[in-house]
Structure 1
Amino acid sequence: MSGDLHTLRVSAVVIFYNPDAACVARANRLAAMMHCVVVDNSPSLRTASEVGLSAAISYLPNGANLGIATAINQGVVSLIDAGFDAAILFDQDSDPSKELLDGLPQLLDEALRRHEPVALIGPAYEDSRLGDVTPFVRFGYLKLHRIPPVGVTPIDVDFLISSGSCINLAAWEKIGPMDDALFIDFVDLEWCIRARSKGFAVLGAPELRLAHELGGEPVRILGRLYPSHGPLRHYYQFRNAVALIKRGYVPFTWKSTELIKFPFRLAIYGIFLRPRLVHLRMALTGIWHGLIGRMGPLEQH
């Protein structure tokens, strides 16, 4: 990266859901370094001061869990209305360095000055529990192609997870918002696919890092560590995968890898995760709801 300062107006968007004191402290540290919007999906409706947030933070409480897509959309729309050029998205567990906060907008600005149609740019992710830097991904038939995050030149990729991604808000208005109907899981992937289908690039910044926990507490299965989730998240994963497989603009390369993974995931959840039958039932319910088009939050009675 060059030493020139970027000229973009940039803000962070942090999504809360029942945050603990450490999450609030991270948001306050972030707000000391740049403009910050916090969208709170927690069921309890509180003021910013009751949560413990800095007065510098723009606080948008929902009083209900409206899903990650809706929360991101709320934060981004507030920034577009305020005249910002870029938004860096974070979940409540993310603790970005100043290098990341400076580096992502600078790389985006340099790409836009070269007249490259960039939708977003994001870092490589480090999950200390899995013990490695996660490679970037391109879709391939029957398997994903993993691209090591090496060098300093941004890498053209097929998708990035939302946390740590710096979005070009001029592109957002052409691509459209995150898909509210997905609620959670594959929200970021769907938006990246849609962006690429409209001619925009998704770029990985190999020299930048964000510590990020991918999924729940990992489980070791046959010598390998896999991120795990609760049964409800597995419902959304299977439902949304099926929903995206049905969509025409989603590339067949991605669809083929998901279809290959389905039986293995069902076996892992049904054998290794407890309570086994609950995991399996929620996954199968998700597949059924994806097939019949039942989207949005799952209504549980």
Structure 2
Amino acid sequence: MKTGVVVILYNPDFSHVAEVIKAFSAPEWDLVVVDNTAGADDRLSDPRFKYIHCGTNVGIAKAQNIGLKTLFDRGVEYAFLLDQDSLFTPTIAVELLQQFKTMEKSSSIAAIGPSIYCQFSDCVDQGVLQKGKKISESLKEVKQIIASGMLLSRHAFERVGEKENGLFIDGVDHEWCWRARAKGMTIYQSLSACMPHRQGDDRIKVCGITFKQGAPIRLYYQFRNVLILARRRYVPLYWKLRHVCAIPVRYIVNRFCFGQGHERGKYMRFGLKDGLKHRSGPIQPDKVVK
């Protein structure tokens, strides 16, 4: 039986996407590419996989839901989620799939993901406050994993529910994992399968502390979604304390230490405003305070 792979695109580097497509074009993989870019890419009309063009940016959560439901409706039982820049290979996928199938025999597993090799720090990410609980030499139980490289089953998707469209982008993967745990399911991270990954565009040190630097508009979703998720009972307390308490520091650093500080400040303030009002979905650019 085939295993599904969903790749989410938004103004991607086509050369890298082409490598992912080539790697997962073998008969054992059922590949779906969901494109959030405004214009369709004719180069992605290929009989080797299904190309779904959304016509506009519907957000990563909805794009993932579209891809997963497409695969599960076609009878696929297991599916991977990949970002457009994921350095993910069939070798990693096979290792994760074997571990998932082993664990589902004895536990209610929701998802598994690879260890993450941070390309900024040149080391495997161990987590800041939550390092997970090691259950074997090749596996540990964790509270959440990122979407890139995440493997889940049709059973888990049906039991936990879809990714939350309203969050749009930031926090989508973590929220789904926390919701799964609230339903009695477990999240695992592989210690034997490792994937290189970049989160954010850069890393900047300020007063000896390393901060992620991304596009200014992402700050809107990050600040807004922290306030939205911090109100939910199933979200871990350590995450609430860490991210809510970090808001003033992140604001100061992004506003006064990073480039495009004025624009960053605008998006952060708008994100805080909408977060307090519990507004979700895509940003409304015409309402951003200048």
Q: What's the counterpart of residue 247 of structure 1?
A: 232
Of the three residues 129, 153, 164, the one matched with 2:149 is 164
Aligned AA (2:99) = L
Residue segments in structure 2 that go unaligned for 5+ positions in a row: none
| 8 Å CA contact retained: 1:136, 1:148 | no
Contact persistence 2:86–2:197 (CA under 8 A): yes
Q: CA deviation at 1:300?
A: 1.0
Distance 2:259 2:97 in 1: 43
Counterpart for residue 43 of structure 2: 51
Task: Tell me, in whole angstroms, the C-alpha distance in 1 between the residues paired with 2:53 and 2:6.
Answer: 13
Cross-structure match for 2:115: 124
Distance 1:66 1:260, change over 3 A: same
How many residue pairs align between the two structures?
284
Partner amino acid for 2:260? P
8 Å CA contact 2:25–2:49 kept in 1: the answer is: no
Change (3 A) 1:205 1:218: same
What whole-Å deviation, never above 9, does each CA across 1:212-241 have from its counterpart, x for those lacking one? 111112223234443211211001000001
Corresponding residue number in structure 2 for 1:72? 64
Of residues 268, 274, 278, the one that matches 2:253 is: 268
Question: Which whole-Å CA distance do the structure 2 matches of 1:118 and 1:149 have between them?
Answer: 15
Deviation for aligned residue 1:58? 1.1
Alpha-carbon spacing, 1:124–1:53, altered in 2? closer, same or farther (3 Å): farther
The CA deviation at 1:38 is: 0.4
Q: 2:79 aligns with which of 73, 80, 87?
A: 87
Any conservation in 1 of the 2:203–2:210 contact (CA below 8 Å)? yes
TM-fit CA distance, 1:203: 0.3
Q: Percent identity?
A: 31
What is the CA-CA distance between 1:52 and the residue it aligns to? 4.0
Shift of 1:250: 1.9
Contact 1:119–1:171 at 8 Å: present in 2 too? yes
Q: TM-score, normalised by structure 2?
A: 0.92
Match runs of 1:13-162 below 5 Å: 13-33=6-26, 34-46=29-41, 50-52=42-44, 54-114=46-106, 116-136=107-127, 144-147=129-132, 152-162=137-147
**SS in structure 2 of the partner of residue 273 of structure 1:** coil
Taking a change above 3 Å as real, the CA distance of residues 121 and 136 of structure 1, as seen in their structure-2 partners, is farther
Quote the Cα distance in structure 2 between the aligned partners of 1:21 and 1:250: 36
1:12 aligned residue: 5
Amino acid of the structure 1 residue aligned with 2:278: G
Q: Distance between the aligned counterparts of 1:86 and 1:274, measured in 2?
A: 42
**Residue by residue, what CA displacement relative to the aligned partner does 1:58-109 show, whole Å, maximum 9, x if unpaired?**
1111111000000000001011101111111100101212321111111000
Identify if the C-alpha distance between structure 1 residues 149 and 216 changes in structure 2 by more than 3 Å, giving closer, same or farther. Answer: farther
CA contact (8 A) 2:20 2:88 kept: no
Query: What secondary structure does 2:189 align onto?
Result: strand
**Counterpart residue number, 2:175:** 190
State whether residues 135 and 141 of structure 2, in contact with CA within 8 Å, keep that contact through their aligned partners in structure 1: no
Counterpart in 2 of 1:257? 242
Q: Which amino acid aligns with 1:86?
A: Y
Q: Where do 5+ consecutive residues of structure 1 fail to align?
A: 1-7, 138-143
1-structure distance, mates of 2:135, 2:101: 21
Instruction: Give yes or no for contact 1:124–1:149 (8 Å, CA) kept in 2.
Output: no
TM-score (norm 1): 0.89
Looking at structure 2, the residues matched to 276 and 182 of structure 1 have their Cα atoms a distance apart, in angstroms, of 24
Q: Distance in 2 between matches of 1:189 and 1:295?
A: 16
Query: 1:152 deviation in Å?
Result: 3.0
